[in-house]
Structure 1
Amino acid sequence: MKMTGEIQTTRGRPPRLSRELIVAAALQRNLESLTMRELADYLGVSHGALYRWVESRDELLHLISETLVERVLSVGVLDGTDWRKRIYRLAWAMYNEFRQVRGFATLMVRPHRHNAQAFTRFRDAIIDAFEHSGVNSSMAEQSWYIFIISVMGWISMEESGPDLGGTGARFDVFLGTLIKGLPASEPEEYV
């Protein structure tokens, strides 16, 4: 019997697959470069067996997104609390969950088809928090864009190197500054 991370494989009959097992295996790999062939080999199954459960790499990324968004929302959403505390908790939950999965943030900031169901739930939680700050729905949505691009961009840059090029940059300082500048408001005209 061979142990590969948390995934157990044996010689002979391939292990029973499930979407949960496939996602768990993928979460242990670098998603930025992960291929379906590599994942099948890691699981100790044929490519055909893997494709019977997950039709494509895009579908795999959708399943991973659902898993990670669910984890973030289970930790980060606190209904009835101050909107800043909600945003702060969601951002830290994103940071902690997404940083554990190599390549996830980098993939998410690149143009691609997002998992609409997972990210809509996440987007709605963030917009709801901003609406509780007193801004209208349009500015709450603009705040969502600023928030998600900023936080995902930060996490993606950290994936490039552990210390953003040795600058000593800190997520806590970044996040505090970001939240102080939110929610969005109509821009002033500068002459």
Structure 2
Amino acid sequence: MNTMTTSARGHRHPGRPAQISRERIVAAALDGGNLDTLTMRELAARLGVTHGALYRWVPSRDALFDMISEVVVDRILPADEPTGARWRPWLARLAWAMHDEFLAVPGYATRVARPHRHNPGSFGRLREAVIGAFTAAGVGGELAEQSWYIFATSTVSWLAAQESSLNLGHSEPRFELFLDSLLRGLPARAPGAVRPVTRRP
């Protein structure tokens, strides 16, 4: 009689934490379906593990979104640094990357647009990079910070509205028109201040 157990043969029991990794969790979460409605039980089923095993790696949906945001921010941040002559094209590239990556994951833009605790690591890096672009544009301190608020909330809100198919008229919303109008109004300036004329590269 063969008394060798499944474990002794080298196969792991279903649901063992060793079957999971950060990369597998994020890949499974991004693999189809609406991220905003994804439950931890559904994610565990996608991974082929028990609900309890998943919670040893990811204690909550907030922690799951933290993992996902780290991956998304890694994908959207340009590799180069913004410069004084190229800060606006740099922001445009970032915004288009946000457009492509956010809308590629159903439910992600909607989730990010809602009030909640954002991952201080991933979104902190995004914030610092965008503030760096506005600093390169010649503003600093509070105005650079306010410019970040305007850029981030406007872009994410536009993407969330696009994702929810909000019908505001007959023509299809065009991101390039939105982005051009947004960047023309940035960086922020104090009320009544005259905006310096800058040459568009």
TM-score by length of 1: 0.86
Superposed CA deviations along residues 120-167 of structure 1, whole A, max 9, x for unmatched, are 100000000001111122111111000001100010001112876643
Corresponding residue for 2:21?
18
8 Å CA contact retained: 2:82, 2:136: no
Unaligned residue ranges in structure 2 (runs of 5+): 1-11, 194-201
Superposed CA deviations along residues 103-123 of structure 1, whole A, max 9, x for unmatched, are 111111111111011111000
Deviation at 1:78, TM superposition (A): 3.9
8 Å CA contact retained: 2:107, 2:163: yes
Unaligned residue ranges in structure 1 (runs of 5+): 1-11
Secondary structure of 1:183's counterpart equals coil
8 Å CA contact retained: 1:163, 1:169: no
The answer to whether residue 94 in structure 2 is matched with residue 90 in structure 1 is yes
Structure number with greater Rg is: 2
Q: Which amino acid aligns with 1:184?
A: A
Q: Which amino acid aligns with 1:110?
A: R
Corresponding residue for 1:5?
none
8 Å CA contact retained: 1:23, 1:64: yes
TM-score by length of 2: 0.82
Q: Number of residues paired by the alignment?
A: 177
The answer to whether residue 142 in structure 2 is matched with residue 138 in structure 1 is yes
Corresponding residue for 1:104?
108
Corresponding residue for 1:124?
128
CA RMSD of aligned residues (A): 2.0
Deviation at 1:19, TM superposition (A): 1.1
Q: Which amino acid aligns with 2:22?
A: R
Deviation at 1:79, TM superposition (A): 4.0
